[in-house]
Amino acid sequence: MKDIKKTKTKAPVEPFKIKMVEIVNLPNQEQRTKAIEKAGYNTFLLNSDEVYIDLLTDSGTSAMSDNQWAGLMLGDEAYAGSKNFYNLEKSIQDVLGYKYVVPTHQGRGAEHLISAVLIEPKKNLVVVPRNMYFTTSKIHVEIQGGVMPDVIIDEAHDPENEHPFKGNVDLKKLKDVIEKVGAKKIPYVNVEMNVNMAGGQPVSMENLRQVRELCDSYNLKVVFDATRSSENAYFIQEREEGYSNKSIKEILNEMMSYSDACIYSAKKDGLVNIGGFLAANDEEIYEKARNLVVVYEGLHTYGGMAGRDMEALARGLREGADDRYLEYRIKQVRYLGEMLTNYGVPIVKPIGGHGVFLDALKFFPEMPRDQWPSQTLAASIYEESAIRTMERGAVSKGRDHKTGENIFPKLELVRITIPRRVYTNTQMEYVADSIIKIFEKREQIKGLKMVYEPEDLRFFQAKFEKI
């Protein structure tokens, strides 16, 4: 292996010890070449046992602690009023500061509830502005007959721009949308923490406060997608004036105080493999959600979750908002990112919260866009090293519904998402080393042609061949 630690980049010290391990297999070159060909050069179509290090997503892939596993044994599987629900409610009140809690089976269950509660279906076209869309958030608004325009600051679209809070809402863009369509057509304004599609980029406390003030002046509700809010709170503690001496929990409580409600996928910062919830300070939202959850998820004291899973989440939420843990977490992602930039590998900057995003257009500057640079790069990474990453570029973006043409977005990325408390820093070095090797021979790598394309969400199932 190269001396990839050549600068002052330091691996963070883990605030845990390992009590149980899962043996992973590293397929040889021949097996990798065969597997990726069989998968049509689409990493979604690989089997997980063909993968050595799985960086497809940070969702539902965390390692639980002994404290969480012990909590599973205390699962009180009652249909109504399980004690684990009350523990979960207390944990959310304490860590995030919301009054009311409605559990759901995962994040999109809560997205379904909030859009159904706040949008009057198909009456008039409604608009839900959001700093930047996420696939499932957007589709739930569209199902109710709405649209979701992005109102994120321009800096978010530039991989080189080092703005410390690249997830911020552009207040002028938001105001323009409100003025243009009228506040009556806006059931709520949606703000995502540590914006996933922008590369895990945080929102500042000042920006949250300003969004609240602007929305108050139009009497608009504010709903957060607080899925990665603990990681966002770490960046506020690290970068925003006045917060370096506050605990993550104090910061989270202040952040959430600027909203009426939030949706939460617990599969990320909640450190569990499944689960989610809607939390609110607004009593009306809570009442409506509590009535609706019974129809779609389960009674309001379990909402699709087993008692044991609520207990694991009650504990995971606290562990995921621990100051020491978060420092290790964010610094592990940064460790990987810095090893890559030390060798000139182009990535989205600053390095975000849940992963490192490779800039495929800079990686393969000569490759035509319709030879799918991000897809090619993700497939090459697997073939080189059995590491699984995800395409986030033109294949994910799809075609224009009206013209049928491919859309080629500004950002053509490969997402290297880091599961929480799962891989060691040495494994991060293996990842960096493998990607640097590909970077060094990037001129020999040929693009792909798409040979099978499903109509919707094509990135999951599309197949390709080498050119």
Query: Contact residues for ligand F0G (CB under 6 A)?
Result: 57, 59, 106-108, 134, 136-137, 192, 196, 225, 227, 265, 267, 276
335 is catalytic: no
Q: Which of 130, 334, 349, 392 is catalytic?
A: 392
364 touches 424 (CB < 8 A)? no
Cα 4 from Cα 22, distance rounded (Å):
27
268 is catalytic: yes
Q: Which of 150, 225, 309, 359 is catalytic?
A: 225
Residue 279's nearest CA partner among 270, 122, 187 is 270
Task: List the alpha helices (DSSP H) in 343-372.
Answer: 360-363
Q: Which is nearer to ligand F0G, 276 or 298 (CB)?
A: 276
Chain residue whose CB lies nearest ligand F0G: 107
CA-based R_g, the chain, Å: 22
Beta-carbon count within 10 A of 312 CB: 31
329 is catalytic: no
188 is catalytic: no
Q: Which is nearer to ligand F0G, 105 or 221 (CB)?
A: 105
Residue 382 structure tokens = 């697997």
**350 prior amide bond cis, ω within 30:** yes
79 is catalytic: yes
195 touches 156 (CB < 8 A)? yes
Smallest gap from residue 360 Cβ to ligand F0G (A): 18
Smallest gap from residue 7 Cβ to ligand F0G (A): 30
Burial of 49 by CB count in 10 Å (0-12 exposed, 13-18 middle, 19+ buried)?
A: exposed
Half-sphere exposure of 384 (CA within 13 A, CB side): 21
Smallest gap from residue 297 Cβ to ligand F0G (A): 12
Cα 112 from Cα 105, distance rounded (Å):
11
Q: Which is nearer to ligand F0G, 147 or 457 (CB)?
A: 457
Smallest gap from residue 194 Cβ to ligand F0G (A): 8
Phi, psi of 318 (to 5 degrees): -70, -45
Q: Which is nearer to ligand F0G, 9 or 131 (CB)?
A: 131
Q: Which of 246, 268, 290, 308 is catalytic?
A: 268
Q: Which is nearer to ligand F0G, 4 or 348 (CB)?
A: 348
Residue 12 structure tokens = 């963070």
Q: Which of 7, 33, 135, 426 is catalytic?
A: 135
Q: Which is nearer to ligand F0G, 189 or 367 (CB)?
A: 189
Residue 256's nearest CA partner among 317, 304, 177 is 317
Between the two ends of the chain, the Cα-to-Cα distance in Å is 30
Smallest gap from residue 267 Cβ to ligand F0G (A): 5
Question: Residue for token digits 């063909």?
Answer: 50
Q: Which of 41, 85, 98, 134 is catalytic?
A: 134
Residues 6+ apart with CB under 8 A from 28: none
Smallest gap from residue 195 Cβ to ligand F0G (A): 8
Residues with catalytic annotation? 79, 134-135, 225, 268, 392, 459
